[in-house]
């Protein structure tokens, strides 16, 4: 009986580098200078638009602070004439005015009662964080709440405006007797559409 012929050993062929490597430059080409310039122009337009809306809303927000806080606001660091000429970010910078505003809201364990008057940056930023915590507690949507640097470093002043607008709505809904004023237009509650009566049932 003859033994079966030995199987020829097949050596694995080395994989070429062409198959091993992935050409990211083809899949994810770098943006052209034109694309980069267009993105830059869009960012600039957005920033300019937000800056303009911030300037337009400043007087209304300041008036809101006067309406709600009254003498508490003017006891802070400036009087009525100074308020009109002082940038809103400077008015709110140390977080004290925000905390005084927040203390008007009647909620249990109100974080704004912890505020401290200080010239130290970390204390001032902590004051701001107390107000932001209150905003979350009373139902201000998370995506409408600014982050501390938006105000403290004036990174995005208009976002601060948006937060205060939303705060004013939530505070008024929570305590309309204290928060009689509101920033911006009232949010209309959508009325459900009433289906029309079928013609065959009208008689």
At residue 70, the pLDDT reads 86
Please report whether residue 147 resides in a domain: yes
Answer whether residue 89 shows pLDDT above 80.
Answer: yes
Mean pLDDT of 19-28: 48
Please report whether residue 31 resides in a domain: no
Distance CA 44, CA 41 (A): 5
Please report whether residue 36 resides in a domain: no
Answer whether residue 17 shows pLDDT above 50.
Answer: no
Answer whether residue 203 shows pLDDT above 60.
Answer: no
Please report whether residue 64 resides in a domain: yes
Answer whether residue 56 shows pLDDT above 70.
Answer: yes
At residue 27, the pLDDT reads 47
In which band, very low, low, confident or very high, does the pLDDT at 68 lie, cut at 50, 70 and 90?
very high
In 10 A of CB 130, how many CB atoms? Answer: 20
Distance CA 176, CA 186 (A): 13
Comparing CA positions, the residue from 157, 177, 175 lying closest to residue 61 is 157
Query: What is the CATH number for 54?
Result: 1.10.418.10
Contacts of 108 (CB under 8 A, 6+ apart): none
**Domain total for the chain?**
1
pTM exceeding 0.85: no
Please report whether residue 104 resides in a domain: yes
| Lowest mean pLDDT across 35-49, 58-72, 152-166 | 35-49
In which band, very low, low, confident or very high, does the pLDDT at 83 lie, cut at 50, 70 and 90?
confident
Please report whether residue 98 resides in a domain: yes
In 10 A of CB 112, how many CB atoms? Answer: 23
How much of the chain, in percent, has pLDDT values that exceed 90? 54
Distance CA 114, CA 118 (A): 13
Mean pLDDT of 182-202: 65
In 10 A of CB 190, how many CB atoms? Answer: 6
Tens-place pLDDT, residues 122-157? 999 999 999 999 999 999 999 999 999 999 999 999
Tens-place pLDDT, residues 93-107? 999 999 999 999 999
* 64-67, long-range: CB < 8 A, 24+ apart: 64/164, 64/168, 64/181, 64/182, 64/183, 65/91, 65/97, 65/101, 67/180, 67/181
Please report whether residue 16 resides in a domain: no
What rounded mean pLDDT belongs to the chain?
81
Distance CA 71, CA 150 (A): 27
Contacts of 162 (CB under 8 A, 6+ apart): 144, 146
| Lowest mean pLDDT across 47-61, 70-84, 189-203 | 189-203
DSSP state of 175: -
At residue 25, the pLDDT reads 46
Domain hosting residue 135, numbered range:
45-174
Please report whether residue 168 resides in a domain: yes
At residue 39, the pLDDT reads 56
């Amino acid at each position: 009986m003859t033994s079966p012929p030995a199987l020829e050993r097949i050596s694995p062929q080395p994989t070429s580098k062409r198959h091993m490597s992935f050409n990211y430059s083809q899949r994810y080409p770098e943006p052209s200078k034109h694309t980069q310039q267009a993105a830059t122009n869009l960012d600039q337009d957005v920033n300019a638009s937000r800056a303009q809306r911030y300037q337009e809303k400043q007087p209304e927000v300041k008036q809101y602070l006067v309406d709600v806080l009254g003498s508490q606001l003017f006891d802070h660091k400036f009087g009525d004439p100074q308020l009109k000429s002082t940038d809103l970010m400077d008015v709110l910078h140390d977080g004290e005015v925000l905390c005084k505003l927040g203390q008007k809201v009647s909620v249990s364990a109100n974080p704004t009662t912890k505020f401290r008057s200080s010239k130290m940056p970390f204390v001032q930023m902590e004051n701001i964080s107390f107000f932001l915590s209150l905003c979350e507690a009373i139902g201000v949507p998370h995506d409408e709440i600014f982050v501390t640097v938006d105000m403290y470093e004036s990174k995005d002043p208009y976002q601060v405006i948006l937060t205060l607008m939303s705060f004013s709505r939530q505070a008024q809904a929570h305590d309309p007797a204290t928060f009689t004023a509101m920033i911006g237009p009232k949010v209309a509650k959508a009325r459900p559409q009433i289906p029309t009566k079928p013609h065959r049932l009208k008689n």
